[in-house]
Chains A and B, each alone.
Chain A
Amino acid sequence: MARILIVDDSAMSRRILRRILEGAGHEVIEAEDGLVAIEKYFLDKPDVVLLDLIMKGMTGMEVLQKIRQMDENARVIVATADIQKSTQELTLAEGAEGFVTKPFVENEILMAVDSALKES
């Protein structure tokens, strides 16, 4: 089982993801903004990050770039309401490992996490 950092400014979305991930036996850490996410990434060393894009302060894209600059092996799955294919392409080009959209579907989240873990 893995340690997973959820980065989302919505408490509702964090609750939903926590329920899905803990139900599958994963350990969950939460961050409600980008700065806290970067701090927790380096303090808690999660195996996978689930990252929202539209957040106050640092955007998810900035957080993705920062984490990847500091750790090129970081496994980041973007978890966003933005369903545009162009957004998916942009995040994958920045090194995201996966892309899932809201509203979350349990199987999609768990498959994305499993896939990222297999890559590591």
Chain B
Amino acid sequence: MLLTEKQRDALGEVINIAFARTAASLSQLSGSRVLLDAPGVEVLAIDEVPGALANFIKQEVVTVHQIFSGPVSGDALLMLNYDGAVNLTDLLCEYGLKPHTLDASAREALTEIGNILLNACLGVFGNLLHVHVSFSMPRLHLESLDKMLRSITIGAEDLRYAVVVSTEFRVKESAVAGYLAIVLGVSSLDRLLGAIENWEQGSQT
């Protein structure tokens, strides 16, 4: 789906604000200052997502997945490669995890960390745009990106798009790269862009 320059710019600004809140949440969780790269934003058809993320996620992806519903509905995904997930959990919980292990306790903690970060990001959307969304329970998936994306688009009738936000954050001198994706049907994406346009006009008055 092609966005106009104005839509892309406005969407980028809302995501910048949302990511600042997300970084603040990460900082609170870790007790350390979090340095965040400016997020990159792309709107992709769902079948373009694996190709776009192929360099980052080559094998299994660790995803915290939350369904949200309301005037704008879809799926919110926090995606990390396996090493990044282990690194993030260890940084925030100080479990002293052995390399390449995500045990039950670490998975439970990562699910809650994802819940907090996804809510921080989408909550800013809700507050800024005056759109109330309800969240389902977060779920942790460990599988290939293709398989995970197929599982969330089965049965979806309208075309699915993903607002993909890529970023890298640095916590306690360690870099963790991750992606956040908001998967929407075309009607929800239209409503989201409309709400952003209303917000922009309201901000100017």
State the CA gap A32–B11 with chains docked (Å).
37
> How many cross-chain pairs have Cβ atoms below 8 Å apart between A and B?
58
Stretch at the interface among B115-123, B151-159, B178-186: B115-123
- Collect the chain A residues with CB atoms within 8 Å of residue B115's CB: 10, 54, 81, 102
Stretch at the interface among A43-51, A62-70, A84-92, A109-117: A84-92
Stretch at the interface among B44-52, B129-137, B165-173, B192-200: B129-137
Q: Which residue of chain B has its CB nearest to the CB of A84?
A: B126
A11 smallest CB distance to B (angstroms): 6
Instruction: Report the count of interface residues on B (CB-CB < 8 A).
Output: 26
State the CA gap A12–B25 with chains docked (Å).
15
In the complex, the answer to whether A13 meets B127 with C-beta atoms within 8 Å is no
10 A–B contacts from the bound complex (CB under 8 Å)? A9-B137, A10-B115, A11-B105, A12-B108, A12-B112, A54-B138, A82-B119, A84-B126, A86-B127, A103-B28
In the complex where A12-B108, A56-B137 touch, is A85 in contact with B116 (Cβ < 8 A)?
no
- Collect the chain A residues with CB atoms within 8 Å of residue B126's CB: 84-87
Name the residue among A10, A12, A13, A80 with the largest chain B CB count within 10 angstroms.
A12
State the CA gap A109–B107 with chains docked (Å).
25
Q: Is A55 an interface residue (CB 8 A)?
A: yes
Q: Is B124 an interface residue (CB 8 A)?
A: yes
The B-contacting residues of A in range 70-102, CB under 8 angstroms, are 80-87, 90, 102
Q: Which residue of chain B has its CB nearest to the CB of A90?
A: B132
Q: Is B109 an interface residue (CB 8 A)?
A: yes
Q: Is A105 an interface residue (CB 8 A)?
A: yes
Q: Is B3 an interface residue (CB 8 A)?
A: no
Q: Is B53 an interface residue (CB 8 A)?
A: no
In the complex, the answer to whether A82 meets B135 with C-beta atoms within 8 Å is yes
In the complex, the answer to whether A83 meets B123 with C-beta atoms within 8 Å is yes
In the complex, the answer to whether A54 meets B108 with C-beta atoms within 8 Å is no
Q: Is B141 an interface residue (CB 8 A)?
A: no
Interface of A is mostly: loop
In the complex, the answer to whether B93 meets A84 with C-beta atoms within 8 Å is no
In the complex, the answer to whether B112 meets A83 with C-beta atoms within 8 Å is no
Q: Is B29 an interface residue (CB 8 A)?
A: yes
With beta carbons under 8 angstroms apart, the residue of A10, A55, A83, A105 that contacts B120 is A83
- Collect the chain A residues with CB atoms within 8 Å of residue B188's CB: none
Beyond A56-B137, A86-B126, 9 extra complex contacts between A and B, CB < 8 Å: A10-B112, A81-B123, A82-B135, A83-B120, A83-B123, A84-B127, A86-B132, A87-B126, A102-B119
Q: Is B21 an interface residue (CB 8 A)?
A: yes
Name the residue among B29, B119, B132, B133 with the largest chain A CB count within 10 angstroms.
B119
Q: Is B111 an interface residue (CB 8 A)?
A: yes
B198 smallest CB distance to A (angstroms): 16
In the complex, the answer to whether A85 meets B25 with C-beta atoms within 8 Å is no
